[in-house]
Structures are given as C-alpha cells and as structure tokens.
Copies of this chain bind each other. A is one copy, B any other.
Amino acid sequence: MELSQALEQLAALQTKLYAYQCASSSLYLDSVTVAPRDTAQGRGVALGVLAGEQHKLLTDPAVGQLLDFLDQHTEELSQLQRRQVEELGRNYRQLQRIPADEYMAYAQLTNQASDVWHKAKENNDFASFQPVLERLVAFNQKFAGYYDPDKVPYDALLGEYERGVDMAYLDRFFAAVREKLVPVIHAIGKKEQPDDSFLFRHYPVEAQRKFSDYLMEVLGLDRSHCAIGETEHPFTLEFNNKDVRITTNYDPHNVASSMYSVIHEGGHAKYELNIRDDVQYTCLSGGVSMGVHESQSRLYENLIGRSLPFIQAIFPRMREFFPEQLSDVTAEQFYRAVNKAQPSLIRTEADELTYCLHIMVRYEIEKQLIGGTLAVADVPATWNRLYKEYLGVDVPDDKRGCLQDSHWSGGSFGYFPSYALGSAYGAQMLRNMEREFDVWGPVSRGDLSQVSAWLKDKVHQYGGLLTPAEVVRNACGDFDPTVYTDYLVDKYSKLYEL
C-alpha cells in the first residue's frame, strides 16, 4: 500500500463516520425538540441500522490493517494524522476486545434501561430498576477490562470520559472539596437568606425567548452558525464547527432557569464553534473531553454569568425585556438571588457552591459499585446517608434521591466527576486570565470578547488535536483544586458575610 493511498482511506473512513454521526445526531435532535410524541419506533429502526454500520466500519479488519500500516509510518505523518491514527487505533483495539454478542446485548440493555428507569423514577420504585442496574454495573465492570486491561475497572471507566483521570486524581480533588466547602455550607445554614422571590414571578415565554437572543448576542454566538431550540432537558449538539445547536427550557415562573441554561449551553457552543477547520469531519472534531467541555460551560455560566460585573452589565437590558417583573429589583439584589446557596436534593437545580457535593455523592457510590464493595440493593441507603453527611439534607424518596439522574440507565459510570472537574478547571483558567489581562473591566461593560479570545487560544481551537491533559495544562497549568475551592470560599464568604 502507498502512504498517499492509505491517507486517502483514512480520510474517507472518517468522513463516513462523520456522516453516520451527523445522521444520528440529526435524528436525536429532532426527537427531543420537535418530533411528535409517539414516533420512537421508526427512529429506533433507523438509529439501529446507523449504529450497526458504524460498528461494522470500526471493526472491519481492513481498518485494522490500515491503522497498523499508518502506525508504522508515524514519522511521515503530520501531527494531525498521527493523532487520528492514535485515536482510531485506540477505538479499534477496544472494539476488537469486546465480543460481538456482548456488544449487542449491552446495546439492547441500555435501550431498555432508559424506559425502565423513566418508569421507576415516575413511580418512585427503585426495586423495579434494581435488576437492570445490576446488569448495567456487571457489564461495566466487564467492559472496563476491554477498555483498558491495565487498570482497575473504575479507573478504566473514568479514563473513557476524561483520559488521564483516575481515582487517585479524583480522591485528591474531592478531599479538597469536602474539606474546604462543607464547613462553608454549614456556616451559611445559620445565616439569613437573600430574598429571591422576584425570580419566580411570571415571565412570559415570548419575552424569555427574546431575552435568550440577547444573551446569545452578549456571548458572541454567531446565529448564522448557532441556533437555539426548546427541549425538556437542555443540551448542546454540534454537527461541526459551522453548525452548533443549543437548547433550553422555558419555565414561565423561573427566569433564572432558562437564563443560566442558555449561558451554560452557550459556553459549550463557544467551544465547538471555535475549533479549527482542519479537524472537522475527523475523529478529532468536537471538544476533547467532557471535563474540558464542562469547564467552558460552567465558566460562562458561573464564573462569568453569576458574577456581579456581568449582572451589572446586562441588568439594564434585562429590565427592558421584563419591565414589570424587575421594576423593583436592583442588579445587586439579582446577583444575590442567583447566588443563593442552599443544600438541596436535586443536582441539576443545585447552586454553584453545593453542586460539587452532589457529584461527590455519585462519585463515592460509583467507586464502590464498580469496585464491587457496594451492592446495587444498598444504593438508596448509601445515597441517603451521603446526602445527609455532605449536604445535611434528608432524602424523602428515591425519586428525589438515587433515581433522579438518567446517567446510570444510559450505562454511564464515571461520567459525573467530569462536571465537578470542569468547574475546577474553569476556576484555574479564570485565575490565569486575571493574571494576563483585565477581565472584569470589559465584562462589566458586557464585553466578553477578550475572555472568548483567550479561551479560543488556550482551549477551543485544538478540538481533539491535544489530549485532555495537554489542554488542561495549556490553560490551567498544574491542576490545583484549591484554586477552585478558594474561589468559592471567597465568593460565598463575601456574599454571606461569614
């Protein structure tokens, strides 16, 4: 085989994978935004075929030979090509290790599990979910060995979501979180809470839609390449760096809900839109990892979006969208309201301070579940005990307890920690920005262009060209969880006069 021929095949393979991914994404996007309710069956048939074709492509022995050949010519490859061969090779070898029947059985299981979980949550019935969760855990324990035979299972799973992260890394991180944040949370419990009742006045959806348009403008999102849709659980979906979609959910009685959802998803979108052209339609397109992605969304949402300078900048315009609702409210009052910290039951509604503790509960449980030291039957009791310990709250039922998240039913174990890591990475990025230029002057005038430019330079542009660890080092330096905990302790000490 000629090298030039092999490189053509490498490109063609990736274009085809992109096309299948693009098709599946389009069907998914449609299903959760505009599709009629009872249309899952036909979509399932199509998605099944597309997944099968994708799997066939990635397990084709000819692909293995191609990647081997290219692997023997690394010195003649560009950095881009080397990284592609590395990533595809990793993927190919993983799939080779998974027996076809197990792969199929797992795909079927996760398909069913989502339905079972939905009903179990609705009926507050953990027992009905338990046997499925047991099978999911068993599969993940086994698959972990296929993913990375050199690691203990949970480390292998963690590495799937955030290459380079393992329990040693996370234990250090969460120890800092627990040590620094739990006392602050307890101290706040004894303080008077700010009035946030005005957030829950009636905010008509039509006005909220216009406000979203304004927020996207402030974020500098190019609407000719980024649309906003409506869905139940907001998410961002990228087709490529010229076509990104964010979604939100409008609650007519909670203005902050969609507002911070748009800023959060907008942060994800900024990342995707800023990725360089030459990794598009390859396995390196898209943000490099969940953790790095969350660092961007949570940086925009919390570090910028919930800062006083940002709120002061946008509040005058915000009052134009909601003149009646906000006539008696100041920017400062708004700032205090959207930064109210209060231990609660539901992760997705948690404030910036307590959020990490919600993740910590899930991390502890996953570690023990996959490690084999916790039985699935004992998850509810452990969940409730840890919520009491970390957050000081009593969990009244499993619906608002261990059944609240969809992740496990989708087969995701090791995903949650990325959320918390992302927040910590973001804090380090912000500190580094503050050392390099005046962040808050421009932000207080609603100008985020320098923040965006810095993030594009340090993080966004690379897509998957660098590894997650390289991107983190590039933007954060050495990972130091105390930067994040110090940031939170400082912010909340001032807010609550601790």
- Given the contacts A38-B224, A225-B39, A46 and B33 also touching, CB distance less than 8 Å: no
Chain A 1-50 residues near chain B, CB threshold 8 A: 15-16, 18-20, 22-24, 26-27, 29-30, 33-39, 41-43, 45-50
Segment at the interface with B among A166-174, A239-247, A318-326, A438-446: A239-247
CA distance A48 to B16 in the complex (A): 10
Chain copies in complex: 2
- Given the contacts A33-B34, A35-B243, A19 and B50 also touching, CB distance less than 8 Å: yes
Chain B contacts for A280, CB-based, 8 A: 42
Chain B contacts for A36, CB-based, 8 A: 223-227, 243, 245
Chain B contacts for A226, CB-based, 8 A: 36
CA distance A29 to B46 in the complex (A): 16
CA distance A22 to B23 in the complex (A): 9
Shortest C-beta distance, A296 to chain B (Å), equals: 20
- Given the contacts A34-B34, A38-B224, A239-B39, A45 and B19 also touching, CB distance less than 8 Å: yes
Does A229 sit at the interface, judged by CB under 8 A? yes
Does A387 sit at the interface, judged by CB under 8 A? no
Closest to A48 in B: B19
Chain B contacts for A310, CB-based, 8 A: none
Does A143 sit at the interface, judged by CB under 8 A? no
* Contact B281 A42, beta carbon cutoff 8 Å: yes
* Contact B229 A34, beta carbon cutoff 8 Å: yes
* Contact A19 B38, beta carbon cutoff 8 Å: no
Chain B contacts for A239, CB-based, 8 A: 39, 42-43, 46
Closest to A41 in B: B242
- Tally of contact residues, A, Cβ under 8 A: 43
The 8 A CB mask of A437-481 against B (1 = contact, 0 = none) is 000000000000000000000000000000000000000000000
* Contact A224 B37, beta carbon cutoff 8 Å: yes
CA distance A238 to B38 in the complex (A): 14
Partner among B15, B27, B34 whose Cβ is within 8 Å of the Cβ of A49: B15
* Contact B46 A22, beta carbon cutoff 8 Å: yes
Chain A 222-270 residues near chain B, CB threshold 8 A: 223-227, 229, 239-240, 242-243, 245
CA distance A39 to B227 in the complex (A): 10
Chain B contacts for A47, CB-based, 8 A: 19
CA distance A30 to B243 in the complex (A): 12
Closest to A226 in B: B36
Chain B contacts for A45, CB-based, 8 A: 15, 18-19, 22, 281
Chain B contacts for A224, CB-based, 8 A: 36-38
Shortest C-beta distance, A223 to chain B (Å), equals: 6
CA distance A35 to B25 in the complex (A): 13
The 8 A CB mask of A271-305 against B (1 = contact, 0 = none) is 00000000011000000000000000000000000
* Contact B30 A242, beta carbon cutoff 8 Å: no
* Contact B35 A227, beta carbon cutoff 8 Å: yes
Chain B contacts for A18, CB-based, 8 A: 45-46, 49
- Given the contacts A30-B29, A227-B34, A242 and B42 also touching, CB distance less than 8 Å: yes
Chain B contacts for A42, CB-based, 8 A: 22, 239-240, 242-243, 280-281
Chain B contacts for A206, CB-based, 8 A: 206
Chain B contacts for A281, CB-based, 8 A: 42, 45
CA distance A35 to B239 in the complex (A): 11
Chain B contacts for A41, CB-based, 8 A: 240, 242
Closest to A22 in B: B46
Chain B contacts for A223, CB-based, 8 A: 36-37
CA distance A53 to B22 in the complex (A): 15
Chain B contacts for A24, CB-based, 8 A: 23
Partner among B35, B38, B50 whose Cβ is within 8 Å of the Cβ of A23: B50
Closest to A33 in B: B34
CA distance A18 to B240 in the complex (A): 25
| A contact set with B: CB distance below 8 Å | 15-16, 18-20, 22-24, 26-27, 29-30, 33-39, 41-43, 45-50, 53, 206, 223-227, 229, 239-240, 242-243, 245, 280-281
